[in-house]
Amino acid sequence: MALLLRENTEIALTAIKSNKLRAVITMLIIAIGITALVGILSAIDAIKSSINSNFTSMGANTFTIRNRGTSMRVGKGGKRPKVFRSITFKEAMRFKEEFDFPGMTSVSTMASFNARLKYASKKTNPNIQVFGADENYLEISGYELQEGRNFTAQEILSGSSLVLLGSEVAHTLFPKGVKALDKTISIGGGKYKVIGVLKSKGSSMGFGGDKVCIIPIMNARQYFGRPDMSFTISVISKFPWLMEIAIGEATGLFRKVRKVSATEEEDFEITKSDGLATMLIENLQTVTLGATIIGIITLLGAAIGLMNIMLVSVTERTREIGIRKALGATSSAIKNQFLIESVVICVMGGLIGIVLGIIIGNVIGMALDTGFFVPWFWIISGVIICIFVGLVSGFFPAKRASKLDPIESLRFE
């Protein structure tokens, strides 16, 4: 059996070499289908990894209180996130003062989504997120200082014009060799002294990342205040196993702060950091399903193309089939020969597609700072799919070849 398989494989490779152009075109058709499937699904795995790593940096024992629901809407049929009454600065600060559970509390707000920062002749694109925050914000949000220092409690209370720059912002405003510390930059119409630069956090899927700057929360209220400004409360529990108790305590206290009666539903939302990551990944399942369907449709087109080319091959090699049958080859042997040839072409094209898919997945992965990875699951799946597509595409041409009459085949010109 092994000898017969080896012989048929050698015949298949010989046939491929004798029709190089046709074989290469067929392999490219299969390669495109596998590239679409492996590349898209590997890219989605990279996105999932990026989401996990970014939210893990915030800590598994962190939760956030905000007024805006975090439900992600996918398509028109998706659920719209709830939006509750804004959390005022007074409410947030009262919670911070009264919440005495073991841990740390931070109050922050989004001062601007689209600020432009300037230093001398250098300026950023108008897509920098400006956060107003207190002295605890860095630790709770998972940021670390690359150089410089954090705000002091006194600087927060006085609303000093100081700023911490995200690494990408610092690189844009201050080229190599120019120190950012103690320089004065412009944010909108205000002047701010740089006291620190944050370590790179990578792409955070729109949740800050490195295109950020942080100013004292009192300063944000003074220069970026607006009537609908809402404040976010972040809490890190000292002990991870007390997380649910801490959330219960926080819920009770904030209901009291917001004057929510016992019979009313909360008009705020509490979200765990890992819970938000899970929710984002669950929403990606819809994208994964869509990508899989696209890949399968592409592969179906490739399979039809391969079947058509194999039928042409059977027609062109009718005389060869007649000679093989005259020399004693059985219908089963002829069928196996063409099936193996179809599988060999499919696997060779599939390997090209898998390599291209891995490259695409890793290009996206590197853009998201997830590093190089080898998607073994999709590699193995790709090979299995190639074998299956080769068998399905080659079955009808192989069956047709096996049923050819040897006398008629020898007379075929």
The better pLDDT of the pair 293, 211 is held by 211
Q: Any idea where the domains of the chain sit in the sequence? A: 2-54+280-410, 85-267
Reported as half-sphere exposure (CB side, CA atoms, 13 A), residue 342 has a value of 33
DSSP bridge pairs for 164: 196, 214
Is 249 a residue whose pLDDT tops 60? yes
Structure confidence at residue 106 as a pLDDT band (50, 70, 90): very high
Is 75 a residue whose pLDDT tops 80? no
Structure confidence at residue 282 as a pLDDT band (50, 70, 90): low
Q: pLDDT (tens digit, 9 = 90+) per residue, 169-185?
A: 999 999 887 889 999 99
Choose among 351, 314, 339, 348: nearest CA to 390: 339
Instruction: Show the tokens assigned to 267.
Output: 């008009």
Task: Determine phi and psi for 346, rounding to 5 degrees.
Answer: -65, -45
Is 197 a residue whose pLDDT tops 90? yes
Structure confidence at residue 91 as a pLDDT band (50, 70, 90): very high
**Residues 321, 333: contact at Cβ < 8 Å?**
no
Cα distances from 181 to residues 132, 149, 162, 177, 190, in angstroms, run 19, 10, 11, 12, 17
Q: Picking from 210-224, 255-269, 393-407, which range would have the lowest pLDDT averaged per residue? A: 393-407
The pTM of the whole model exceeds 0.85: no
Give me the chain's average pLDDT, please: 81
Percentage of the chain lying above the pLDDT 70 cut: 83
Instruction: Over range 366-388, report the average pLDDT.
Output: 76
Read off the amino acid at residue 47. I
Q: pLDDT (tens digit, 9 = 90+) per residue, 314-349?
A: 777 778 778 877 777 778 878 887 888 888 888 888
